Chains A and B, each alone.
Chain A
Amino acid sequence: MEVGAVIKHDISNAARTGDWRYMKPVVDKEKCSGCSTCVPYCPDAAIVVERDSHIVNRELAGSTIRDPRYAQIDYDFCKGCGVCAQVCPLRSITMKKS
């Protein structure tokens, strides 16, 4: 602790709250349109919407959306509350037992 009892934010001291999880949100990459509705509602800021090495083929899910981005979840911090699955307008996140 510094003089004046100041604590600096240091993410390496953070508890890895992913340990709490007993249900795991899984994103259907073909179905997710990358709309970002879930992002602000995540209490643990664990959702990033960006493109990855995975190439999405949404035609499989019957969608016409061509946005290559989709939701990705940081399982280090995700507590598995399931809010993202509830707010998803396309129901592309499902909760699975982990």
Chain B
Amino acid sequence: MNKEQAKNFAPGHSACAGCGFPTIIRTILGESKDPVVISNATGCMEVTSTLYPYTAWKVPYIHNAFENAAATISGVERAHKALLKKNVETRHASSVPKKIKFVAFGGDGGTYDIGLQSLSGALERGHNFLYVVYDNGGYMNTGNQRSSATPYGANTETTPAGKESFGKIEMRKNLMEIVNAHRIKYAAQASVGNLPDLKRKARKAFETEGPSFLSVMQPCTNNWKFPTSMFVQYAKLATETNFWPLYEIENGNYTINYPVKSAADHGASLPRERKPIEEFLKGQGRFKHLFTPENKHVIEEMQRIVDSEWERLQKLANQNTIPTKLPEINQTVGVSAQTE
């Protein structure tokens, strides 16, 4: 066992062989200089890491329910604040660390679908916490049901491909834009295939005062149906095909961190060519049915979706009209009463 790697999250958990979420946990928590407290939505991560009587977590950890990881961590964060205040008032020598990083982990089911209202509430109330969604595009723990993060064309239990259907007929939800609509200071999209980028983003998120958000791609070996050894390669391919662009939103301003040239930008001097979406799809069992003559149009449609989303992202990154600072609002209580 590698002690340095296992300092926050130990082995002995029952995640599928070749699942990448332990890498995400270790990489993100490794960037915090302060002690961390974790809350976790129901999902693969929760089910596999906390098999009674064992827990793989070496840090304080709370699981509550599918829908309220963000609400739970809000409560923990406020309780810590209240405890510190109480200790100051009573001049009580405290064993409570002054600085704690509060982190909530959720899968895409517990974030895009079920936990969205509690996430929105926690972002709006401005708690000092980091929310991490590891996105494997479906309810993988219960056997691959579709979620609103499942890509167009995917074959799942609830959108089965066959004679009458080619899989999921809807587009993915763009959660980053929903999160950005709360005007939080830092939100970023990262991937388990690019750890230096994920590290940098985790560090930035921990430095942010107030809520921050990370969306991390996590290819699922079991239900995307590819060999257990390939999660890193599929995460990289998702970025290289522009399916999962790496970008960050700081105070409303978009920055693309891994620029890939696409068919739309003529003559732009970007270093990398965008790979066709087939490179990402092939080898995945959930897209196997698309490689038939009658489903050719689905792949073309997917390519069109990816290109138009990329174009939209580039336009957002290129516009400089957004003020670099978010409007400051006065939250001090009773100031106006004193001045009157």
The answer to whether B1 touches A77 (Cβ under 8 A) is yes
For residue A28, CB closer than 8 A to chain B, the reply is no
- Select the stretch in B53-61, B89-97, B180-188 that faces chain A: B53-61
Main secondary structure of the interface of B (DSSP, over half): loop
**Which of A1, A7, A9, A83 touches B18 (beta carbons < 8 Å)?**
A83
On chain B, which size bracket covers the interface?
Answer: 35 or more
Among A1, A10, A45, A83, point to the contact of B5 (Cβ < 8 A). Answer: A45
- The interface bits of chain A over 44-58 (1 if a CB of B lies within 8 angstroms of the residue's CB, else 0) are 111110000000000
B18 and A43 contacting across the interface, CB-CB below 8 Å = yes
Query: Do A40 and B195 have beta carbons less than 8 Å apart?
Result: yes
Knowing A48-B2, A82-B227, A83-B228 are in contact, say whether A14-B195 is a contact too (CB < 8 A).
Answer: no
- Check B1–A76 contact: CB distance below 8 A: yes
Bound Cα distance from A79 to B12, whole angstroms: 10
Considering the chains assembled together, what is the distance between the CA atoms of A38 and B50 in angstroms? Answer: 25
Q: Is B231 among interface residues, defined by CB-CB distance under 8 A? A: yes
A74 within 8 A of B: yes
Query: B12 contacts which chain A residues (CB < 8 A)?
Result: 11, 13-17, 77
Check if B54 sits within 8 Å of A80, measured CB to CB: no
Tell me which of A9, A42, A80 contacts B57 (CB under 8 A). A9
Nearest CB in chain B to that of A44: its residue: B11
- A40 touching B14 by the CB < 8 A rule? no
B231's contact among A16, A17, A40, A83, by CB below 8 Å, is which? A83
Shortest CB–CB separation between residue B214 and chain A, in angstroms? Answer: 17
CB-contacts of A1-53 with B (<8 A): 1, 7-11, 13-17, 20-21, 39-48
Interface residues of B in 15-48 (CB under 8 A from A): 15, 17-23, 26-27
| Bound Cα distance A23, B195 (Å) | 26
Does B263 have its Cβ within 8 Å of any Cβ on chain A?
no
CB-nearest residue of chain B relative to A8?
B55
A-B interface pairs (CB < 8 A), number: 108
Q: Contact partner of A7 among B14, B50, B195, CB < 8 A?
A: B50
Interface residues on A, range: 35 or more
**Distance between A98 CB and nearest chain B CB, rounded to angstroms:** 13
Contacts of B64 in A (CB 8 A): none
Contacts of B13 in A (CB 8 A): 17, 44
Do B2 and A42 touch across chains, with their CB atoms under 8 A apart?
A: yes
CB-CB < 8 A to B228: which residues of A? 81-83
Q: Would you call A14 and B15 a contact (CB within 8 A)?
A: no
Residue of A nearest to B12 (CB): A14
B6 at interface, CB cutoff 8 A:
yes
Report the nearest B residue to A15, measured CB to CB: B12
A41: chain B residues at CB < 8 Å are 20, 23, 195, 232
The yes or no answer to B229 lying at the interface (CB within 8 A) is: yes
Q: How far is the CA of A85 from the CA of B221 in the complex (A)?
A: 16
- Across the interface, which residues of A come within 8 angstroms of B11, CB to CB? 14, 17, 44-46, 74, 77
- Interface residues of chain A, those whose CB is within 8 Å of chain B, are 1, 7-11, 13-17, 20-21, 39-48, 74, 76-77, 79-83, 85-87, 95
A-B contacts besides A15-B54, A21-B17, 20 pairs, CB < 8 Å:
A7-B52, A7-B55, A8-B55, A9-B10, A9-B56, A14-B56, A15-B14, A17-B12, A20-B17, A43-B19, A45-B6, A45-B11, A45-B26, A74-B1, A82-B227, A82-B228, A83-B229, A85-B229, A86-B230, A86-B233
B residues adjacent to A (C-beta < 8 A): 1-2, 5-6, 9-15, 17-23, 26-27, 50-58, 195, 221, 227-233
